[in-house]
Amino acid sequence: MMSKVMNYILPITLLVFFILVMNSGDFLKQPRGSQDNVIHYLNQVENEIKQQEWDTALQEHQNLSAAWDKIVPRIQFSVEKAEINKVNVNLARLKVFIEVNDHNAARAEISEIREHWDNLNK
């Protein structure tokens, strides 16, 4: 009797666990501290670009990339790989646009990063 119960409980428990993991992207992308606050650093980069402070914007981009690198391992099982790759490509483009002082293109990349961020796990 106990064996039959375990034959049902274990698979059901595992299924529930996997469903929770697969749907936890919105929760897991939230910052756990100041070092992984992607939106904060994205806003910082945007502010520096608006003020044409390119060197500071590049430093903030490094902080943004480091924050993103801390988030990726947490969300990798609950977010499509393609969405993670899109953000990676946007961050690479943003860095180049900051380096060449292209205000409009950098702002467009920030907008796209923000859109991808908002749509993670949807």
Question: Domains in the chain and their CATH numbers?
Answer: 2-118 (1.20.120)
Query: What's residue 12's pLDDT?
Result: 87
Q: Is the pLDDT of residue 122 over 80?
A: no
- Percent of the chain scoring above 70 in pLDDT: 96
Taking only the tens place, the pLDDT of each residue in 67-117 is 999 999 988 888 889 999 999 999 999 999 999 999 999 999 999 999 999
Q: Is the pLDDT of residue 1 over 70?
A: no
State in Å, rounded, how far the first CA of the chain is from the last one. Answer: 42
Q: Is the pLDDT of residue 52 over 80?
A: yes
Q: Is the pLDDT of residue 43 over 80?
A: yes
Q: Is the pLDDT of residue 27 over 80?
A: no
Residues 74 and 36: their CA atoms lie apart, in Å, by: 11
Q: Where are the beta strands (DSSP E) in 1-88?
A: none
Query: What's residue 25's pLDDT?
Result: 67
pTM attached to this predicted model: 0.83
Residues 5 and 3: their CA atoms lie apart, in Å, by: 5
